[in-house]
């Protein structure tokens, strides 16, 4: 069947939005087919659904939460609205509450509020010591200090994370100083596993992973606002953490985004 799609590029993390209604039990196969289409270079797929009240919901391919898809969905909603609002409320998988997305269509940017992390735990990895794991609804991110490591290491960390706590998706974020002398600028290399589609992707950028790194970096700091720039394989993401009374009370994440015209793809 032919489906209508939009291709979003949030800092290189290419995301296909399927605009044609499908049944949820078709999502995994549809996503796998779209991810194999080399012309799109997609790393993930989201499905746009219509709620009973006529509002739109965005469901990721594995029911997980995705920050880059969330801010891209907000950008798309602003683009499709004749009024082109700069502030858009979005309903997305992996978040219990609606999120606000700030959009600037002229500048080609969007920034979203993010769900607060549920907890940060130390994850023991067999033969590798331990790593901090930042747990959100819908996705857990393990932060590994240093450059990208082997696939065998990734599998060991992933197994430890799955054994510790079941989740829709897991990210492993390799984090190191940027080397340019900027205190709050880091290099980050993300790899993400989605359970429903059994897909492991070295992503060009990762929004929720960027947020996890920022939450971790700000975790022992005094109350205040902390802004971190995460340089990733195909783009920059800026993550902001606000702390009050020793706790993280607000998270925001943003960067560049572009969205294609409506296209058609043959799937299923």
* Mean pLDDT by groups of 10 residues along the chain of 268 residues: 98 98 97 97 98 96 96 98 98 96 98 96 94 96 97 97 97 90 85 96 97 96 97 96 97 98 96
The pTM is what? 0.92
- Looking only at the bridges linking them, the beta strands covering 56-60 and 87-92 are parallel
What pLDDT digit, counting tens, does each position of 151-176 carry?
999 999 999 999 999 999 999 999 99
Could you tell me if 265 and 236 are in contact, meaning their C-beta atoms sit under 8 angstroms apart? Answer: no
Give residue 127's pLDDT: 87
Q: Would you state the pLDDT for residue 165?
A: 95
Domain 2-114+257-266: CATH superfamily is Diaminopimelate Epimerase; Chain A, domain 1 (3.10.310.10)
Q: How many CB atoms are located within 10 Å of the residue 65 CB?
A: 23
**What pLDDT does 175 receive?**
98
Question: What pLDDT shows up at residue 268?
Answer: 85
Contact 253, 114 (CB under 8 A): yes
Torsion angles phi and psi, residue 40, rounded to 5:
-95, -25
What's the rounded Cα separation, in Å, for the pair 133 and 84? Answer: 38
Domain ranges of the chain: 2-114+257-266
Rounded CA separation 258/125 (Å)? 38
Closest CA to 219 of 111, 134, 142: 134
């Amino acid at each position: 069947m032919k489906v209508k799609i939009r291709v979003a590029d949030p800092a290189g993390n290419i995301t296909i939005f399927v605009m044609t209604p499908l049944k949820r039990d078709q999502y995994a196969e549809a996503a796998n087919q779209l991810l194999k289409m080399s012309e799109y270079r997609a790393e993930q797929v989201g499905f746009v659904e219509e709620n009973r009240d006529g509002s739109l919901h965005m469901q990721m391919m594995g029911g997980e939460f995705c920050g880059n898809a969330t801010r891209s969905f907000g950008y798309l909603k602003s683009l499709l609205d004749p009024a082109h609002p700069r502030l858009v409320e979005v309903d997305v998988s992996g978040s219990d509450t609606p999120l606000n997305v700030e959009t600037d269509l002229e500048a080609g940017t969007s920034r979203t509020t993010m769900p607060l992390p549920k907890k940060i735990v130390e994850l023991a990895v067999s033969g590798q010591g331990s790593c901090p794991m930042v747990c959100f609804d819908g996705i857990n991110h393990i932060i590994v200090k240093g450059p990208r490591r082997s696939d065998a290491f990734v599998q060991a960390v992933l197994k430890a994370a799955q054994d510790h706590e079941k989740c829709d998706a897991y990210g492993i974020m390799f984090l190191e100083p940027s080397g340019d002398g900027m205190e709050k600028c880091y290099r980050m290399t993300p790899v993400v596993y989605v359970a429903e589609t059994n897909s492991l992707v070295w992503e060009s950028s990762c929004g929720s992973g960027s947020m996890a790194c920022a939450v971790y970096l700000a975790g022992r700091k005094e109350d205040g606002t902390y802004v971190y720039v995460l340089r990733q394989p195909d783009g920059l993401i800026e993550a902001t953490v606000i702390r009050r009374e020793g706790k993280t009370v607000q998270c925001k994440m943003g960067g560049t985004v572009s969205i294609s015209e409506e296209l058609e793809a043959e799937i299923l």
